[in-house]
Amino acid sequence: MTLALNPQQQAARTWFESLRDRICAEFEAIEREAGSDASFDYTPWDREAPGLNPGEGGGGVRGVMKGKIFEKVGVNVSTVAGEFAPEFAKTIHGAADSPAFFASGISLVAHMANPHVPAVHMNTRYLVTSKSWFGGGADLNPPLPREEDTAHFHAVLKAACDAHDADYYPRFKAWADDYFFIPHRGVHRGVGGIFYDHLECADDAGFDANFAFTRAVGDAFLNAFPPIVRRRMNESWNDEDYRTMLEWRGRYAEFNLVHDRGTLFGLKTGGNIDAILMSLPPMASWS
């Protein structure tokens, strides 16, 4: 990568990459506990856009593991820069008058082998246009919901939010409920979590506060999800459970292909196609 980063951009990039390393190590540890030697395979990529030489627009690394517990999990990090296409720029916060942008972030989706273990999504990101801001969140997507798991996941996220602003959890939970909804099905994608965007960094103090919260969200994910995996990964399941999971995965795929902002952003900015679509499940069913 040949991008010249300022200290804030470099700090964000470094954090997202370090969070990737911690998450992947934890997921591999779970595979070891299950007697599997599955590990992540990492594939670097360069952003492709007209007029750019390799590396000039930044890039990232796609990490994928297929194991005994994690049927398919992808953890992507990217740091890219360039200009939005004119029409797409009109849809991006702060880019309508100037199409130049910088973006760094981490995105994760895990599809599990056991229908009793929830799938999960998490991402955090830092974007700069004529404005700069953080966004992200995490949400739990169980084919067979369990109240204990849902309560644990939300409690950990709420604690992270409350440490920064008492208004964050109710506000960002409601935003997740609204965002992770499939209008044509009339159902939510999962049991929710938090979703936030446009936490603006108008000055150094704003950057520091919003970066601290974004780091807290990443740490909360590591406290929220692995305990659920360990609680459920050895539970028995039957053919009906598996069919339910495949049908639920079909709904998940529909949301990600039709409504997900991250999918659209990646496709519109010359991202790596395999990394963008790693969120899709390895198998799904439409009945």
**Residue 15: enclosing H or E segment and its boundaries?**
helix 7-33
Distance CA 274, CA 263 (A): 11
pLDDT at position 156 over 70: yes
Condensed to tens digits (0 to 9), the pLDDT of residues 71-106 reads: 999 999 999 998 988 888 888 888 888 899 999 999
pLDDT tops 90 at residue 260: no
Helix (H), strand (E) at residue 258: helix 239-258
Structure token pair of residue 185: 């099905």
pLDDT in tens, 218-253: 999 999 999 999 999 999 999 999 999 999 999 999
Q: Give how many domains the chain has, as a whole number.
A: 1
**Choice among 111, 116, 121, 188 that is catalytic:** 121
Write down the pLDDT at residue 79. 96
Over residues 107-117, the mean pLDDT reads: 98
R_g of the chain, CA atoms, integer Å? 18
Which pLDDT score is estimated for 29? 98
Which CATH number covers residue 122?
A: 3.40.1500.10
Domain of residue 113, residue span: 7-279
Cα dihedral 117, 233, 108, 146 sign:
positive
Q: In the predicted model, what is the mean pLDDT of residues 169-182?
A: 97
Domain contains 2: no
In a domain, 223, yes or no: yes
pLDDT tens digits for range 29-41: 999 999 999 999 9
Q: Which amino acid is at 66?
A: K
Of residues 224 and 261, more confidently modeled: 224
Residue 175 pLDDT grade (very low, low, confident, very high; cuts 50, 70, 90): very high
Residue 276 confidence class, pLDDT cut points 50, 70, 90: confident
What confidence score (pLDDT) does residue 187 get?
93
Do the Cβ atoms of 72 and 66 come closer than 8 Å?
yes
Q: Encode 35-47: b = buried (16+ Cβ within 10 Å), e = exposed.
A: ebebebeeeebbb
How much is the pLDDT for 94?
Answer: 87
pLDDT-derived band at 1, boundaries 50, 70, 90: low
Residue 77 has what pLDDT?
97
With respect to residue 121, please indicate whether it lies within any of the assigned structural domains: yes
- Residue 60, pLDDT score: 94
* 121 catalytic per annotation: yes
Q: How far is CA 113 from the centre of its chain?
A: 19
Q: Please report whether residue 69 resides in a domain.
A: yes
51 — pLDDT class (breaks 50, 70, 90): low
Is 71 among the domain residues? yes
Question: How high does pLDDT run on average in the chain?
Answer: 94
The reported pLDDT for the residue numbered 147 is: 98
Q: In the structure, what pLDDT confidence band is assigned to residue 55 with cuts at 50, 70 and 90?
A: low
- For 201-220, what is the mean pLDDT? 98
The answer to the question of residue 287 being in a domain is: no
Mean pLDDT (whole number) for 180-198: 95
Residue 1 lies in a domain: no
State the Cα–Cα distance between residues 235 and 144, nearest whole angstrom: 12
User: What is the phi/psi pair of residue 98, to 5°?
Assistant: -145, 120
Average pLDDT, stretch 131-151? 98
Residue 189 domain-assigned (yes or no): yes
* pLDDT in the model for residue 171: 98
Q: Residue 124 to residues 1, 107, 181, 210: CA-CA distances in angstroms?
A: 21, 7, 20, 11
